[in-house]
A = this chain, B = another copy of it.
Amino acid sequence: MLKLSKKAEYAFMATIYLASHSGNEYPTAKEIADNYKIPFQLVAKILQNLAKNNIVISFQGVKGGYKLNKNPDEISLIDIIKAVETNYKLTECMLEGGDTSNCTLVDCCKIRDPLVEIQRKIDIMFQETSLKQIL
């Protein structure tokens, strides 16, 4: 409960690794997996997600690998999370099949789900923290 997923964790690790290894050669998924001793396939997939969302750039082929697409201080943690997490929806109204007609949204949610406000705060926290801050 309220725990960050491995996906997010690995995504942070990978981007942190890329941020601190910006040499001539591009770090590969395998290199990252080995370094942190985490499953290769999983990291690979996560990097693909990050690539799709323009957080990293991927290079295919023999000398391939990954590099960050922006500077670490320009990458918000929420970008990384959203790239990796399929159903990331903290702030959404949680009513399902509820009577939303007489629901002035925020107020309604506040009554039925007192946590929305808190989740919004967490959301903001991720938004306001950059990758650089956790290097």
Contact = CB atoms under 8 A, between A and B. Distances in A.
Contact of A125 (B7, B77, B121): B121
Copies in the complex: 2
Interface in A10-56: 12-13, 16, 36
Nearest to A122: B122
Specify the main secondary structure of chain A where it touches its partner: helix
A69 interface: no
A79 interface: no
Interface stretch (A60-68, A100-108, A111-119): A111-119
A130 to B, nearest CB: 12
Contact of A1 (B8, B113, B134): B8
Interface residues of A, number: 31
Contacts of A122: 2, 122, 125
Interface string A63-82: 00000000000000100010
A59 interface: no
Interface of A: 1-5, 7-9, 12-13, 16, 36, 77, 81, 85, 87-88, 90, 112-115, 117-119, 121-122, 125-126, 129, 134
Q: Which 8 A-B pairs have the closest CB atoms?
A: A1-B5, A114-B134, A12-B114, A1-B85, A4-B115, A122-B122, A9-B115, A2-B2
